[in-house]
Chain A
Amino acid sequence: MASNNIVIGIAGSGGDGVISAGEILVNAASSDGLFVFMLKSFGAQIRGGESSVRVRMSSEPVATQGDKLDILVVFSWKDYLKFQSEMLLEDHVVILSDSEDSFPEENIPISANKLKNWYKVPFNQLATDAAGTSLAKNIAMLGVISELFNLPKSALEKSVKKKFSGKREDIINKNLSALKAGQNYVKKEIEKKDSVLFEYTPGDPRIVMEGNEATAFGALYAGVEFYAGYPITPSTEIMHWLSVYLPRYNGVVIQMEDELASINAVVGASFAGRKAMTATSGPGISLMSEGIGLASMAELPIVVVNVQRGGPSTGIPTKTEQADLMQAIWGSHGDSPRVVIAPSDVEDCFDCTVLAFYIAEKYQLPVIVLSDAFIGQRKESINPNRFRDLKYGFKKINRRITPTEKELEDYHRFKITKNGISPVTWPGMEKGMYQAAGIEHNEKGFPSSDVSVHARMTKKRWEKFREIKREFSFERLYGPDDAELGVIAWGSTKGAVKEAVARANANGIKVQAIIPQILYPFLIQPFHDFLRHKKRVIFVEMAYAGAFRRYLRGFIRFGDFGVETVSYRQTGGAPFTVGQIYDKIVEEYEKKDA
């Protein structure tokens, strides 16, 4: 069965080089122009421990990791058990395991019909013979699967070379020998009994990015000048990346003592006129809430990225969830306007971060980018040219407006204007001195506890929302407008929803999905348009309490549109599969005549 879409899963211990193998595979496929999607999964151990990787490659665009594996590579069955629920298998799955693994076969939790195509391969031995070290067994494995399934072979060789570039010549050669040894093993020793074969035509090379890298790169593109942060999974890669590249552009990256310090340093930097940001995860946002309120009150532009993780408190930090929506939008003391944007894939991490800086600087308020572990830590292959023609990547990133000479003669930092935006100065600007404050203040910036001043200034700060709603429309639509069944989702569930909707429409089930990217302020018009033909909509979200559906119901009276709403949600951890959402679509579609 030749296919141009293949999903490979690899499970093992940290020392098995599982992630490296996945990365090499992703790079090889991308340099041959394929669409690639890679998801990593780890246990809690710092080093060693179990890890798994899943790589999907196709010559057609892919939006998810693929529901089930066509190929499963197991270095150790013991490790595989930990990922069993995350690695579902196709009936035609081909399994390759290390022949030295002593795990009792009767304990392997895979039904007999899926064990039909099972090859036991001496990965360890192949590596030791060819490279003199078992460390190269992941490379030997890549040799085996590339030969057996027709994966991009010459690109793979290039990727292995690149992976070990900078190392001694003999290390590169040893790894190349291991790759060859794997390929030769298949030619000599394996009689192919399965039918899985990858078929593709090479295209122009694509680049490979992780969501968190795309966020960091987007920030740099938008002109970030100051980053203060505190490490927290799964967001820290953003700080890692910027700590290397931001200083090259004269920016500052500083690791603070906690999130309280981080957010206040960012607000301080913004006060000093810099484009400033921080990134964290839900628990960090909790600590930053007061500081976000300060930025809102002092009308200072800041960008705060929340790469959401699972559960309250420590929760499951290495896994994804979408349960911080309400925290992002309402998580504050007092009426504090902030904008919330949700990226829905790796490219979007770039776009949304660029947009976040644009909005923050223009409107002088905090912008929260609500990403999650699923997008932040996965890799996707991307067309590099898309960055040169950005729909939402504004060519000219504005800095906040400054007062004119005339305005400086009697400067009112918080001057009430029609759109709520007042010109701002910063330390170093002559005649522009003012007091920024978390305390309520008048237009001049002086403290005031006068209730009428509070009313006027609160209104002024919210006035910006009216303008933002006018300026932007940022949502994505999939499927025909006249579908009576709709799906409403946000953020990282987009991929599965998109593929499920495409599959449904291909099977004659008319359905349309809408994915808003700007979540707050709520841009209502696209939803009114969307709902025009709908009779029933399914809310898809990875959050037990279903905050997204409740949130939307606050803005839209679905009953007035004659629309029934259904919630489809699950707790975080493993992302939705396309199949899950497809089945839900079918289930709700069939109700239409009931």
Chain B
Amino acid sequence: MDEVKYSLKDYKSDLKPIWCPGCGDYGVLNALMQALVKLQIPPHQMAIVSGIGCSSRLPGYLNTYGFNGIHGRAIPLATGVKLSNPDIKVIAVGGDGDGFSIGAGHIPHAARKNIDMTYIVMNNNIYGLTKGQASPTTPVGEQTKTTFYGNMDEPINPIRMMIAYKASFVARIFSGDPKNAIEVITQAIQHRGFSFVEALSPCPTFRGVEQFKLIREKVRYLPEDYQPTDEVRAFDIANDNDFIRLGVIYRQDRPIYTDIVRKMQQVSEKIGKPEILDLLKLFEP
């Protein structure tokens, strides 16, 4: 192994998380930092971008470049960063409300454009920062502060949605399984293209300790012979109601947006790059 230049302390900021004790986001933050140590990405070459929510506070806890933007807009913000400087590793993070409710309109576009970034959604099935309202992944029948008579909305299945959007890398981790989480996040960051990681991240404060137990009981790894390139099989895994499968569920290699931009610039460069004021010729009658 090469010399380890960056260790955990290089990625960790001085800021103490505002998260509640037992929050799953601690596990995700930790797994992310471990993955960064494994990958040895220089902190100044990284941008962690987020929207609003408990989990969107994550960038502040890392000693990298970070941007805690506005609710639901982590993906376009990250798109702007990545296309401006393709050398920067860009990771967008957030919660199920930020990503699948207010920001849901952006996901298919980042996926189809195959923007080279990693998007980690810490899914806790609830709005935590605003203290306990229904989220797009809250199960049917659950009582929350905004669903007194029980949640009536069919929850979004993030994995199925992402496969349908042709996200080129779709994976699931559990905050309670750090070893697998580190491995999957590492692969997600290494993936060329839009990589999505659903992080099951329980909220003991608003969903009780039962949520953690329930996930613990239901999680399984993918079958040994599993091939993530098989889209039909990936949908089966996503639809599985008996078990929650962890690992890389779907992946596909296809051109990334920055390659396309570079190609466009090369074509343009062949045509020529005159002094800007020479472009006045274009306006000659």
Nearest chain A CB to B261 CB, angstrom units: 6
Which residues of B77-116 have CB atoms within 8 Å of chain A's CB atoms?
Answer: 77-81, 83-85, 87-88, 105-106, 108-109
Q: Cβ of A247 < 8 Å from any Cβ of B?
A: yes
Verify if A258 is at the interface (C-beta below 8 Å from B).
Answer: yes
Interface string of B58-81 (1 = CB under 8 A from A): 011001111111101101111111
Give the contacting residue for A257; candidates B45, B105, B264, B267; CB below 8 A.
B105
Residues of A within 8 A of B272 (CB): 248
Check B77–A268 contact: CB distance below 8 A.
yes
Q: Mark A259-287, 1 if CB is under 8 A from B, else 0.
A: 01110111111111110100000000000
**A29 CA to B63 CA in the complex, in Å?**
62
Which of A30, A31, A267, A432 contacts B77 (CB under 8 A)? A267
Check if B70 sits within 8 Å of A438, measured CB to CB.
yes
**In the complex, chain B residues 258-285 whose Cβ is within 8 Å of any chain A Cβ:** 261, 264-265, 267-269, 271-273, 276-277, 279-280, 283-285
| Residue contact B80 to A226, C-beta cutoff 8 Å | yes
**Which A residues are CB-close (under 8 A) to B79?**
228, 254, 256, 261, 265, 268
* B-contact bits for A554-592, CB 8 A (1 contact / 0 none): 000000000000000000000000000000000000000
Q: A248-B268, A435-B68, A437-B67 are in contact. Are A27 and B277 (CB under 8 A)?
A: no
Would you call A436 and B68 a contact (CB within 8 A)? Answer: yes
Q: Which residues from B are CB-within-8-Å of A269?
A: 80-81, 83-84
A interface residue count range (under 10 / 10 to 19 / 20 to 34 / 35 or more): 35 or more
- Contact (Cβ within 8 A) A265 B109: no
With a 10 A CB-CB cut-off, give which of A206, A260, A429 has the most chain B CB atoms: A260
Alpha-carbon distance A270/B67, docked complex (angstroms): 12
Alpha-carbon separation in the docked complex, A298 to B85 (Å):
19
The minimal Cβ–Cβ distance linking B255 to chain A, given in whole angstroms, is 15
The residues of A that contact B280 with a CB separation of less than 8 Å are 207, 384, 387
CA–CA, A217 to B47, complex, Å? Answer: 31
Residue of A nearest to B272 (CB): A248
Q: Which residue of B lies closest to A381 (CB)?
A: B285
Q: Say whether A342 faces chain B, with CB atoms less than 8 Å apart.
A: no
Chain A nearest CB from B11 CB (Å) reads: 10
For B15, B73, B272, the residue with the greatest tally of chain A CB atoms inside 10 Å of its CB is B73
**B63, B64, B81, B88 pick with most chain A CB within 10 angstroms:** B81
What is the CA–CA distance of A31 and B46 in the complex, to the nearest angstrom?
53
User: Is the CB–CB distance between A220 and B59 below 8 Å?
Assistant: no
Q: Does B43 contact A (CB under 8 A)?
A: yes
A381: chain B residues within 8 A (beta carbon):
285
CA distance A429 to B72 in the complex (A): 27
| Complex Cα–Cα for A428 and B276 (A) | 28
Contact yes or no, A272 B85, CB < 8 A: yes
Q: Which residues of A contact B63 (CB under 8 A)?
A: 433
In the complex, how many angstroms separate the beta carbon of B225 from the nearest chain A beta carbon?
38
Is A248 a contact of B44 with CB atoms below 8 Å? no
Interface residues on B, range: 35 or more
Residue pair A427, B46 in contact (C-beta under 8 Å): yes
CB-CB under 8 A from B162, the residues of chain A are none
**Contact digits for B25-58, partner A, Cβ 8 Å, 1 yes 0 no:** 0000000000000000011111101000000010
Cα–Cα, bound, A360→B189 (Å): 34
- A335 → B minimal CB distance (Å): 16
A272–B43 CB distance below 8 A: no
- Decide if A427 touches B44 in the complex (CB within 8 Å): yes
B interface footprint on A184-211 (CB within 8 Å = 1, 0 otherwise): 0000000000000000000001111100
Bound form: Cα–Cα A261–B81 in Å: 13
Q: How far is the CA of A136 from the CA of B200 in the complex (A)?
A: 67
Tell me which residues across on chain B come within 8 A of A248, comparing CB atoms. Answer: 265, 268-269, 271-273
User: Chain A residues with Cβ under 8 A from B59's Cβ?
Assistant: 435
Q: Residues 214-225 of chain A: 1 if any B CB is under 8 Å from the residue's CB, otherwise 0?
A: 000100110001
Most chain A CB inside 10 Å of its own CB: which residue of B46, B76, B81: B76
A314 CA to B47 CA in the complex, in Å?
38
Query: Which of the residues B67, B267, B276 comes within 8 Å of A220, measured between beta carbons?
Result: B276
Shortest Cβ distance from B218 into chain A, in angstroms? Answer: 34
Contact, CB under 8 Å: A426 / B285: no
Given A206-B285, A252-B83, A268-B81, A433:B105 Cβ within 8 A: no
Instruction: Tell me the minimal C-beta distance from A309 to chain B in angstroms.
Output: 24
Contacts A/B (CB < 8 Å), 17 sampled: A217-B279, A221-B277, A228-B80, A248-B272, A254-B83, A261-B75, A261-B106, A268-B78, A272-B84, A291-B73, A294-B69, A298-B69, A387-B277, A388-B277, A428-B45, A433-B65, A436-B69
Q: Measuring CB to CB, which residues of chain A are less than 8 angstroms from any residue of chain B?
A: 26-31, 155, 159, 162, 205-209, 213, 217, 220-221, 225-226, 228, 245, 247-250, 252, 254, 256-258, 260-262, 264-274, 276, 290-291, 293-294, 298, 381-382, 384, 387-388, 426-439, 446-447
Report which B residues bind A (CB closer than 8 A).
15, 42-47, 49, 57, 59-60, 63-70, 72-73, 75-81, 83-85, 87-88, 105-106, 108-109, 261, 264-265, 267-269, 271-273, 276-277, 279-280, 283-285
Q: 7 tightest CB-CB pairs across the interface, nearest first? A: A268-B80, A27-B285, A272-B84, A265-B80, A248-B268, A261-B76, A264-B76
